[in-house]
Amino acid sequence: MTLASEMHVHLRLPSRSLFEGSAARLRGEAPDGGFGILPNHVDFVTALVPSVLLIAQPDGRERIFGIDEGLLVKKGQRVEVAVRRAVETDDLDAMRDTVGASFAELEDEERAARAALSRLEADMVRRFASLRKMPR
């Protein structure tokens, strides 16, 4: 049995892929606490909580992501991570501000989209009601 020295990680958002590449290790946060994954770690699935996701690449570079809630699936040498929102930063100290600003902007966009959808639904209900009142 040969042991792998790296794994393939894919970090996805609902609208796009944020990271795809090789990793020597990964560190994340589940509802029951922090965990680490190495390439030959046992397969598993876990929920992710809003936290920091660290991906150490084989060349020694560390990628730092501020993530929202999501799901992580490890199977073989592949790690699939799906989160609602995430941002990458080089400065762990400035991450709180970066994440706060980015997530606030996304929340504003989501709020505007929900308001537009509500207006469309209300208009559709009014139109159906007016059809009902028409003489036959």
Domains along the sequence of the chain with CATH? 7-133 (2.60.15.10)
End-to-end CA distance of the chain: 78
Q: What is the pLDDT along the chain (136 residues), one digit of tens a residue?
A: 578 889 999 999 988 999 999 999 999 999 999 999 999 999 999 999 988 899 999 999 999 998 888 999 999 999 999 998 888 887 666 666 666 666 666 676 677 777 888 888 888 888 877 877 766 6
CA distances to 34, 36, 60, 66, 97 from 17, in Å? 24, 22, 22, 15, 22
State the pTM of this model: 0.69
